[in-house]
């Protein structure tokens, strides 16, 4: 595991855990040559094009409200230290640490694959989620446009869509999303973990500033797009006390739905998160990890479907009650988004051509 001497500006992780499947390990060794080298230089983001072989992923997890999803990118430049998708970079023989947020892959043929999959005989439409793993509107989307092209195909086919993002870049696609929403085909959730700019800058260094995300809630709502807020993750001691303020700001901006997820530390994330805590909040690190272990029955993480999103014990019950009371007071979750699949039409290139003769 390679360790940077200090956090890199604009990056979340300062560790580079060895990929699980590579079969090699590294250890830091101080030979004296870098003792006075100072902070590491800025790290450039490298984007590679990937020609994916399939694009719609399916899951059967009982605690996830969708079964189909699309991830336009591998890795995420937002650099959220707690991101549960980090361990997936090990499948590419890359580190879930620095590599995850700086060595990215864009699935440039995503829209082509999607069009082909939607046109297959027997395809049964169901809501497709964008943002299930990495953020579909991370900074490289401005140039890559992978997400934009995917939404264009879904809009053309009147296919139901749900989006989760931390980025105001979603506003760029209001021209597609608003007409879809008018036909009950789309909704958007903004993930807002705090309104504290300094905390957000450390936790999510390249994500849109939190109050700007609230403004995005306002703009989406004004465009007629059903919008919600996710307070995710809840991190004991660090941001748990911010939950009501985030929900209040989102509701005032027009949010209709809300959700929360307790912090999850599977695989390499537990070491990345501990290191981040020691660097940024050394006086709180022990307390934070103590409460997390209480949530996970004495462990850093438990993957049980029934409890992995919420945790267990008194603290988990208190957060759940606070969330429910805040939603009741603010009029959130009076209904749930249910985009329709009844309007789906296969892509034109795959329809029966006889009516054209």
pLDDT tens per residue across span 185-213: 999 999 999 999 999 999 999 999 999 99
DSSP 99: H
pLDDT, residue 50, reads 94
> Does residue 26 register a pLDDT over 80?
no
> Does residue 41 register a pLDDT over 80?
no
pLDDT, residue 355, reads 47
**Closest-CA residue to 153 (of 321, 313, 348):** 348
Cis ω on the peptide bond leading into residue 233 (within 30° of 0)?
Answer: yes
d(CA 80, CA 75): 11
pLDDT, residue 16, reads 73
d(CA 93, CA 28): 19
Query: What distance lies between CA 148 and its chain's CA centroid?
Result: 17
**Contact 279/6 with Cβ under 8 angstroms?**
yes
pLDDT, residue 298, reads 92
What is the β-pairing status of strands 15-16 and 2-3? antiparallel
**Closest-CA residue to 80 (of 168, 169, 10):** 10
Query: What distance lies between CA 326 and its chain's CA centroid?
Result: 23
Phi, psi of 162 (to 5 degrees): -130, 140
pLDDT, residue 36, reads 53
Taking CA 204 as the corner, what is the angle to CA 280 and CA 10, rounded to the nearest 5 degrees? Answer: 75
| Helix (H/G/I), strand (E/B), else coil: 245 | helix
Residues 6+ apart with CB under 8 A from 5: 34, 37, 39, 40
The model scores a pTM over 0.85: yes
Measured CA distances, 126 to 66, 248, 333, 345 (Å): 8, 32, 22, 12
Rounded average pLDDT over 323-328: 98
pLDDT above 70 coverage of the chain, percent: 89
> Does residue 62 register a pLDDT over 60?
yes
Phi, psi of 237 (to 5 degrees): 75, -35
Largest Cα–Cα distance of the chain, in whole Å? 79
User: Domain 2-25+45-332: which CATH class?
Assistant: alpha beta
**Contact 90/21 with Cβ under 8 angstroms?**
yes
**Contact 277/265 with Cβ under 8 angstroms?**
no
How high is the mean pLDDT of the chain? Answer: 90
What is the β-pairing status of strands 161-165 and 186-191? parallel
> Does residue 327 register a pLDDT over 80?
yes
Bridge partners (DSSP) of residue 227 are 188
Query: Using 50, 70 and 90 to split pLDDT, how confident is the model at 42?
Result: confident
**Residue of higher predicted confidence among 293 and 303:** 293
d(CA 355, CA 353): 6
Lowest-confidence range among 104-108, 248-252, 348-352? 348-352
**Residue of higher predicted confidence among 25 and 312:** 312
């Amino acid at each position: 595991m390679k360790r940077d001497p200090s956090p890199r500006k604009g990056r979340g992780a300062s560790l580079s855990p060895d990929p699980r499947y590579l079969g090699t390990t590294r250890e830091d060794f101080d030979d004296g040559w870098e003792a006075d080298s100072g902070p590491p230089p800025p790290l450039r983001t490298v984007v590679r094009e990937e020609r994916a072989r399939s694009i719609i992923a399916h899951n059967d997890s009982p605690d996830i409200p969708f079964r189909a999803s699309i991830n336009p990118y591998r890795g995420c430049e937002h650099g959220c230290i707690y991101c549960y998708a980090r361990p997936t970079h090990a499948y590419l023989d890359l580190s879930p640490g620095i590599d995850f947020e700086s060595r990215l892959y864009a699935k440039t043929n995503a829209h082509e694959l999607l069009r082909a999959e939607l046109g297959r005989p027997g395809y049964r439409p169901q809501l497709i989620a964008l943002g299930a793993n990495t953020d579909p509107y991370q900074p490289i989307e401005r140039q890559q446009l992978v997400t934009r092209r995917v939404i264009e195909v879904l809009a053309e086919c009147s296919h139901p869509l749900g989006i989760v993002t931390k980025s105001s870049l979603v506003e760029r696609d209001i021209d597609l999303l608003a007409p879809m929403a008018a036909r009950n085909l789309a909704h958007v959730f903004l993930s807002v973990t705090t309104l504290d700019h300094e905390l957000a800058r450390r936790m999510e260094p390249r994500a849109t500033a939190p109050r700007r995300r609230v403004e995005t809630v306002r703009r989406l709502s004004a465009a007629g797009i059903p919008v919600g807020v996710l307070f995710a993750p809840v991190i004991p001691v660090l941001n748990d006390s911010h939950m009501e303020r985030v929900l209040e700001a989102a509701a005032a901006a027009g949010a209709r739905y809300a959700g929360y997820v307790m912090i999850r530390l599977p695989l390499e994330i537990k070491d990345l998160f501990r290191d981040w805590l020691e660097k940024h909040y050394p006086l709180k690190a022990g307390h934070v990890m103590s409460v997390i272990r209480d949530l996970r029955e004495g462990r850093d993480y438990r993957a049980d479907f029934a409890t992995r999103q919420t945790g267990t014990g008194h603290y988990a019950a208190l957060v759940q009650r606070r969330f429910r009371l805040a939603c009741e007071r603010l009029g959130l979750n009076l209904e749930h988004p249910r985009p329709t699949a009844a309007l789906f039409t296969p892509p034109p290139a795959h329809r029966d051509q006889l009516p054209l003769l």
